[in-house]
Structure 1
Amino acid sequence: MNPSTAFATVVVDELIRCGVREVVLAPGSRSAPLAMALAAADREGRLRLHVRVDERTAGFLAIGLIRGTGLPVPVVTTSGTAVVNLHPAVLEASHSGLPLLVLSADRPPELRGSGANQTTDQLKVFGGAVRLFHEMGVPRQEVGQVAYWRSQVARAVAAAVGVRSNDPGPVQLNCSFTEPLVPTDGPDWPEPLDGRTSGPWTSVRAAGGQPSSLSPGPKTVVVAGDGASQAARLAAEAGNWPLFAEPSSRARIGPSVIPSYRLLLGASKLADEIERVVVFGHPTLSRPITKLLGRPDVEVVVVAPTGSWPDAVRRAATVVTGLEVTGADSTDWLARWQHADQLARPAIDKLLAGELTGPGIAAIVGEAVGADGMLVVASSNPVRDLDLAPVVPIRTVANRGLAGIDGTISTAVGAALANAGATYALIGDLAFLHDFTGLVIGPAEARPDLRIVVVNDNGGGIFSTLEQAGTTDFERVFGTPHGTDFAALAAATGTPYTLVTTADELRTALVRTVAGVDLVEVRLPRPTSLHQELQAAVNAAL
């Protein structure tokens, strides 16, 4: 089966699983894969297909079907002006709150602007009238495509019917097709094209509904990403499940927390036994968590009270607005994770107890902040270093929406101005330089109580731990050494400054009362093999 045929087959099947029973088609060449998949489903009695030669007529026929059935109805067109002829129907659907799904066929993106036949820019052609737009991308014959296709169709239908927003309306999926556009013989597809055993790929519960019940059932872990809140902790404790909590989750407290979870996922055979993951918040930090969420043998339940939901690897089976755990796991599942964490901790602490390292600095800063303080942590290495610390302040703030280093100092200043107590910031050198002007505060402006700890490894240290390490021109295009004098920068803004070179000096610098803004610089060599050494130490300890 070629990629275009496979894509169309999967999309039509998932639409049916999501409740679609009527589809309108305006014929054309580029939409041929969808047309043939729809005709096959019509013959099998899985849906009813309506064919019209004019796209404007097709759009309003779909509107009438929606008004008559109350169900979402797709309308399929070929590329070019065909898509634009749906605009009147899309506007009607938008203003009437009707779940119209536009499946617009398109040429491959590389043909845009080339003068290729029937090729124009169809991206967001309906502007703000649609509740969701997504460019599906050119189908490829590789593992992971089926989960992506099915997940996105389920997300589009949920947006159209307003299940999360209470604002139903039209959506557009722009579907690029490459030749061949008709079924052909070819190599076996690298993964099953099948959907879930029953129902849609992702079952989405309505916002504002009753909490969903979850039994102890399979071997479960709770993942708490950014902004998860105490709901993650309460669920983990109610189920007697291990809790893998990121620093900015505000859930990293209590008996279920497994601080070394990231290293244990790469070392312990316990990871292979996980059968279900309950996700709160927006997990973004670690590849082990991403790998866990992408495992086909693991059921993923996402708890998201409103709006969209995180599902970066497209494996979520259920999205709920709240969770009621009906009982505790009576096995030794949590105890085994706790035991593994206890075995791993001394190995981690031993490696961090020598010369200063990023994780060692994060641990010392976390201790200094304590239960009453607030910690703002930068993206890149600092937040990952903090994730390895045994103690993480509950009031930890991080810009994890897009995980950029932009505006970290200004974020810390704002958080400190809104905080009644002392505020600390843990930040890398590039993030500091990126927002150095955040320290420029006018004499008539309120000044916060903020201590900034900048970990200076003279460049993009995180790249030394990634695939880019050792590549040609690494220092120039990834390492980006700058040689900046931070003491001079501090002096330029009248910011008190301290340079520390040992753990004891850092503890002494942090114990002082935080009054106004001050800067503590810790200089480090670039991290190279530290994380590999930590993983090896944990492997040996277990």
Structure 2
Amino acid sequence: MTGPAVHPAEAMAEVLIDELIRNGACEAVLSPGSRSAPLALALHEADRTGRLRLHVRIDERSAAFLALGLAKASGRPVPVLCTSGTAAANFHPAVVEADLSCVPLLVLTADRPPELRDTGAPQTIDQIRLYGGAVRWFCETGVPERRAGAVAYWRSLAARAYGHATGSHRSPPGPVHLNIAFRDPLVPTRSGSLHPWPEPLAGRPEGEPWCRTTPHRTAEGEPLPATERGVLLLGDGCSDPTPLVAHAQRAGWPVLAEPTSGGRYGPNALTAYPYLLRVPGFLDAHRPDLVVSAGRPGLTRQQTALLHAARAHVVVPGTYPADPARTARAHVHPCASPQADADQADSDNAAPPPSRWMASWLRADRAVREALDALLDDGPAPTAPGIVRALARRLPPGGLLFTGPSLCIRDLDQHLHAPTGTPGPRVLANRGASGIDGVVSSAIGAALAHGGPAWALMGDLTLLHDHNGLLLGPDEPVPDLAILVINNDGGGIFSLLEQAEHTGPFERIFGTPHSTDLSLLAEATGTPYTLLTRSQQLTDVLSGKGLRLIEVRTDRTRDTELRAALQAAAGRAVASMRPPGRIGE
């Protein structure tokens, strides 16, 4: 039995994309180019017939981070395609982020055939293992040829790549790289003659994937150590915080949860812990016997100090088992299922009152939060901490917030509320490599995958670094995304670091003022723009529709002084209620 009359490159592209869709791909991103034409046409056809949704971006770096955001929010591998040469190199930052944050990404790079490599042919670089160890799996697929057995090879290749990306082959989820060489002609020509393919191109019956893979289970469950003086520390990449939060509630442990962990909820979740850990003497009086950590805690140096101070540290491996202080004594996979733990927590109506240990953490957290709120409520003009607090208060449960790095996520960590019941808004960020690149594109991708109202929070340098992400063509899907930009005309985080002591060169090489008019940038990209001058305006501007840019201008020096005042207020609040000695002994 033979297949249709088709060009080899066309056959491979059709089969490869079909098999990725059968495995679960429902979004794809491409940047235009010649060498990638067969795959681009196959993706366009899949989009036209409603089998997946295609997104086109002219900038490869923006395209890759858009795919990263789509994959991060949906949990599904997203194919991203480019032509040969430096186009593939521009995918590298997003590949690194996907590796470190364990986001499933299918990187498809078109390439010249072997006979044209190392000949000076244009748009040709060495793409073999271009991303090094940052990918879970690499395959040089070979040039498509008209021969029997090719269809089975292409379909098993696509299924294997999808499985590696989802973490089904004894490794966490992450990026996979397929380097696909095509010979000319890249697409069928009118003058060229097509011959029947030597076998059918179709896959398994009823749309089944060629080979189904399931996530690999790394270990059987075991109980967490029991102790009264415990702390649960949750960072980015915590795959499922629900059973851990339930365990902390039963054990009477405070929950210190970064915004992107998904674990800042429930009666034991603290909202002012970054301030508490910086108060002199607080950690000495609250030294835990055990810290259980999950994900990648790393927003503050004080988290590392907590890990060093604990008598024991146990890591619960998630998508990324992190031990930043190298203090872990064990990696433990909790034995209870998330649903069982949640059901047990809900049914435990006879829970004992908080121990002296838990009560002391809660009392200090409330005292510090009241002091912080009182100070922030007094400011008439917008400040970075104040506007972040206002944004956090207005995010609805189930909403999506994508936050940039540096001060934005740290301000959010210090002022995000903790619902007493179910989890609040979903917070995402590129915390793998924690760079400022690609945040606009990642936020747009996450909002598109989310499918409802979404918000993004970032600084001015982060916006400028990826302003190409705002370039959406007239036929592209548009997210319902409000991008809130805190513009302090430079890099505000350096004002809090040791570099600030070098006052002479500081402003030029660390502060890096740019004096860019963001309203003109918005106008150039056709993005609706609002300048917010009072915090009270926030509710109105956040309730809009479509992709829009909201700018808040703050003063770096004044924000730095405010942050120092907030920490001083936290110290006074703790001093006013702190008993002598070590809590719980």
2:308 is aligned to 294
Report how far residue 529 of structure 1 moved.
2.7
Task: Specify the SS of the correspondent of 2:507.
Answer: helix
Report how far residue 265 of structure 1 moved.
1.3
Query: Is structure 2 residue 413 aligned with structure 1 residue 387?
Result: yes
Cα distance per residue 1:56-100 (max 9 Å; x no partner): xxxxxxxxxxxxxxxxxxxxxxxxxxxxxxxxxxxxxxxxxxxxx
1:440 is aligned to 471
Query: Is structure 2 residue 526 aligned with structure 1 residue 494?
Result: yes
| One of 293, 303, 307 as aligned partner of 1:279 | 293
Distance 1:380 1:450, change over 3 A: same
Opposite residue 220 of structure 2, the aligned amino acid is Q
1:114 is aligned to none
1:521 is aligned to 551
Q: Separation in 1 of the partners of 2:386 and 2:329?
A: 38
Report how far residue 521 of structure 1 moved.
0.2
Q: Separation in 1 of the partners of 2:498 and 2:217?
A: 40
Matches within 5 A, 1:238-253: 238-253=250-265
TM, length-normalised to structure 2: 0.55
Report how far residue 214 of structure 1 moved.
2.4
Opposite residue 400 of structure 1, the aligned amino acid is R
Report how far residue 491 of structure 1 moved.
0.4
Matches within 5 A, 1:104-115: none
2:355 is aligned to 331
Opposite residue 362 of structure 2, the aligned amino acid is Q
Task: Specify the SS of the correspondent of 1:316.
Answer: coil
Determine if contact 2:237/2:318 at 8 Å carries over to the other structure. no
TM, length-normalised to structure 1: 0.59
Q: Separation in 2 of the partners of 1:450 and 1:390?
A: 20
| One of 351, 373, 395 as aligned partner of 2:375 | 351
Distance 1:394 1:322, change over 3 A: farther
Higher alpha-carbon deviation: 411-420 or 214-223:
214-223
Matches within 5 A, 1:130-209: 208-209=218-219
Task: Specify the SS of the correspondent of 2:555.
Answer: coil
| One of 229, 251, 267 as aligned partner of 1:255 | 267
Give the unaligned 5+ runs of structure 2: 1-131, 137-167, 172-215, 346-350, 419-423, 575-585
| One of 333, 342, 360 as aligned partner of 2:366 | 342
Query: Is structure 2 residue 227 aligned with structure 1 residue 213?
Result: no
Distance 1:276 1:374, change over 3 A: same
2:279 is aligned to 267
Task: Specify the SS of the correspondent of 2:227.
Answer: coil
Task: Specify the SS of the correspondent of 1:221.
Answer: strand
Task: Specify the SS of the correspondent of 2:291.
Answer: strand
Q: Separation in 2 of the partners of 1:323 and 1:465?
A: 42
Higher relative CO (CA 8 A, sep ≥ 6), structure 1 or 2?
A: 2
Determine if contact 1:251/1:394 at 8 Å carries over to the other structure. no
Report how far residue 275 of structure 1 moved.
1.8
Query: Is structure 2 residue 509 aligned with structure 1 residue 477?
Result: yes
Q: Separation in 2 of the partners of 1:529 and 1:287?
A: 20
Determine if contact 1:207/1:321 at 8 Å carries over to the other structure. no
Distance 1:227 1:416, change over 3 A: same
Opposite residue 263 of structure 1, the aligned amino acid is Y
Task: Specify the SS of the correspondent of 1:404.
Answer: coil
Cα distance per residue 1:510-540 (max 9 Å; x no partner): 2x23x21011100000032333221210111
Q: Separation in 1 of the partners of 2:278 and 2:393?
A: 26
Determine if contact 1:227/1:281 at 8 Å carries over to the other structure. yes
Determine if contact 1:380/1:462 at 8 Å carries over to the other structure. yes
Task: Specify the SS of the correspondent of 1:366.
Answer: helix
Q: Separation in 1 of the partners of 2:246 and 2:384?
A: 31
- Point out 4+ residue stretches in structure 1 off by more than 6 angstroms: 325-330
Opposite residue 305 of structure 2, the aligned amino acid is K
Cα distance per residue 1:247-268 (max 9 Å; x no partner): 1111111111011011111227
1:374 is aligned to 400
| One of 464, 482, 486 as aligned partner of 1:455 | 486
Opposite residue 234 of structure 1, the aligned amino acid is A
Percent of pairs with identical residues: 42
Task: Specify the SS of the correspondent of 1:468.
Answer: helix
Query: Is structure 2 residue 236 aligned with structure 1 residue 226?
Result: yes
Task: Specify the SS of the correspondent of 2:458.
Answer: strand
Distance 1:441 1:390, change over 3 A: closer
Q: Separation in 1 of the partners of 2:384 and 2:522?
A: 22
Q: Separation in 1 of the partners of 2:170 and 2:462?
A: 39
Report how far residue 207 of structure 1 moved.
5.8
